[in-house]
A and B are shown apart, each in its own frame.
Chain A
Amino acid sequence: MATPLVVSDVAKSFTMHLRDGVTLPVVAGVSFSIRAGECAVLGGPSGAGKSSILKMLYGNYAVDEGQIIVQHGDGLIDLASASPRTVLSVRRHTIGYVSQFLRTVPRVSALDVVAEPLVERGGDRETARAKARSLLAQLNLPEKLWALPPATFSGGEQQRVNIARGFITEHPILLLDEPTASLDARNRDVVVELIAAKKAAGVALLGIFHDLDVRDAVADRVIDVTAFAAGKIAA
């Protein structure tokens, strides 16, 4: 089976220049891989570096050491050392990301927020909107909200917009950062269904789930992040 994502010996620390250059180690020696059609879950207590790992995989955090090899198009690229332009291309075509919080743009409707990633990939705007509609309906977002900018939505409503935005594309790799945190049971179940559908479609998923029910429902395996605790190696 294909392995579109391979992480090897990745390390990350923060240097706080405003506090006399103190270095905060986050993770070190991070190594794992995700196969197509598999959903792996990062496990470990808060502060173990789960979110940081996800952000490095999305190019949102810089990587100090190691490699993140991604199957991008016909080739392999190392995301840890890729140029910003390559990272943008990877985000557009290969790696999708559902963040914890929706970063809204003033005056753009929920529907267009969801449709945008498809349009960015060169999709037709109306086709993208149609797909956005069906996803928002599946996630039980009231139709009267679709045309409104999500800035004023509740946490759960924003989260569903965010999930729809992340799931609308057919990225071969999908990163999920607590997508169900502020959802009720019914919508959690919808997310579980969506994840199952992605797995069936051969997408490699990596997520963080604090909700044990959801985690058990979607996880093929759990990657224990405490094994990568930077202190262990640094000490």
Chain B
Amino acid sequence: MNAQSTDIATYNFAYLDEQTKRMIRRAILKGIAIPGYQVPFASREMPMPYGWGTGGVQVTASIIGPDDVLKVIDQGADDTTNAVSIRAFFKKVAKVDVTTETAKATIIQTRHRIPEQPLTAGQVLVFQVPIPEPLRFLEPRETETRKMHALEEYGLMHVKLYEDIAKHGRIATTYAYPVKVEGRYVMDPSPTPKFDNPKMHRSPALQLFGAGREKRIYAVPPFTEVVSLDFEDHPFEVQTFDQPCALCGAENVYLDEVILDDHGGHMFVCSDTDHCEKRRADGHHGHLAPETHSASGKMEPAE
């Protein structure tokens, strides 16, 4: 897949050089072979700052091919700066088709959400991860946390949950909620809301996690057990919302609060914009939905 162009100013396909991609693919394969295990990799400088998804971008760049269709979401939305820029980046350096429709995408790079629409076999979900180490909160030494993973010493993870219940009367951790993968490694699912944790369990899609600054890659292969940690008397629960989406009327989806004015007016709407638009196109509407709506599911051709 070397760049065919004779123009010396163009980048290699998908920006990264082929040696780097091979290195990252090896890390990904190792991650898939050991679900939940953090594989170190030689993270490269990317043309964007750390914290903007450099880990996810490197993973995506290493697996993307000319036939792939890419969707990028930032906290569920396709139209925020981060999502738009990364989509534009791959459109330019890999000349791939991009989409906002979950079902049409072959690769979905995400910052902190899993789409509401269930993923299917053959799709790859790439997470952008800021801090991959779930034990970091209580154990600052990397040498020690690696040993704890190696020896399966995960008591500390429950100490964190214990502290939550002691302080708040319930497990107050709502995002980056630790999971145990395939009964072995405890993993940070990146700062996704715990609402999305059950979607990771036995998902038909391949889930890849890239942490650029921390130089770690990990993976959950399709149909892998992903269990959220909890106590017998304080079982894991997802967030519930006491009202449906104000725009599409959806229930049992993850909602964002949107401030409407300076007088305390606000509404709760789907965090997954594609899901919301699709529902509205299908005729669902919530109590604050405008009378007309725009068509959804734009399919942008490659440049």
Q: Are A and B in contact, CB atoms below 8 Å, in the complex? A: no
